[in-house]
A and B are shown apart, each in its own frame.
Chain A
Amino acid sequence: MAGLKSKDLLGLRELSAEEIELILDTAEALREIATRPIKKVPTLKGRSYVTLFYENSTRTAKSFELACKYLGADVVNVSVGTSSVKKGETLRDTVMNLEAMGVDAIIIRHPCGGAPHLAAQFVRCSIINAGDGIHEHPTQGLLDMLTIRRHKGGFRGLKVAILGDILHSRVARSNIHGLTKMGAEVWVAGPSTMLPPGLEDLGVRVTTRVEEALEGADVVNVLRIQLERMQQSLFPSVREYHRFWGLTPERLRLAKPDALLMHPGPMNRGVEISSDVADGDQSVIHEQVTNGVAVRMAVLYLLANRGEAA
């Protein structure tokens, strides 16, 4: 495996199984850096990166920023509120201006699916998708996969249950593409109003009964429920949601005893997940965050060294 084929990381749909393996192997090697007392290596010294966020984010933005800094790169954060974007500048003009300032990659979060694909057409520097609308969140998918691989050794034959609002979840889509490519059996479960059409064609099992998805699962990934979805009549109340789709200790017992519990955060405790479960022994939620920095370091490293002998 020579390296990544594309200059951009747009989604896990575009990556091959070999490329995913390469990113995870690289992340595994770099993961240790964040645990050192002096968390800085010169690997990307002299490189510069921009995080361009059109949506609020704490976790992903800071994770990317720290990944840049741990590898010795310079990083500038641009958010909508403080840039000329508010003045009505197009995405095309914004990314072309940033490239003109000499950046090596633009890390973009955007409310519209496909926005990073659009941006990638206009610049020679790398575009890294940090979440586009309801489409993909590839580094989240990769950090979930790194977390699974560290505990389960691999993916083939694992039953992974993804619970919640699948329709609006970019985390779900990236997990689906990545995990099915690596041979896992992916189940999704949620209210019928939150299940998008046609997932079966991607090899996914779809159900409205969380119990069915949880039965014998090796991994349970619980998605965040946006409470404003109640205003769109996607579900009637928090109480009803929790009763039918919330992950409780009883429901978690349907999964394998050593099943991993994951959540991309931030959690609505008592809605999609009970606190007992979130804080229980099977939870690897904080480890996911650690792995997030590792995966992002790996992506930055591999894109920066693309085409060079590894």
Chain B
Amino acid sequence: MILDRRAVSSVISYTLLIGITLALTTGLIFGTGALVEQQREGTARSQVTVIAERLADSVMTADRLARGTEAQPETVVLTRRFPTRIAGTGYKIAVRTGGPGPRIRVDANDLDATATVPLRVDSGLAETRVNGGTIRIVYDPTASPSLEVRNG
């Protein structure tokens, strides 16, 4: 016991213990925090891309339905159910027709995640901006432009 107590100071032991615990905790928080953030942004990027592509597909299908017959359809409504939040944040969907042509752009609100998908449609397409969630693509032959993306 006497040998065991040589060169041992309870103050130093305690300080070392606190220091090591602090260092480990801080490293854990910063390390995993960065990992989580990286994973979150990657996920958000994947999600906006998938949502933009799926929505573009639906808009072009609505256009095909609207233009596929000689007579103008009375009703064409496609409803798509997308998540209201992606990677823990909301997102916006914009339909744009100017510049390089019709396209859909999906932006995550708080993250650096954006996807743009071009559209090929023959019907007139309304410029709109909607929130994520349930989306309706509506063709109205009496309206101009006749094809519009709306929140469901």
- Report if A and B associate in a common complex: no
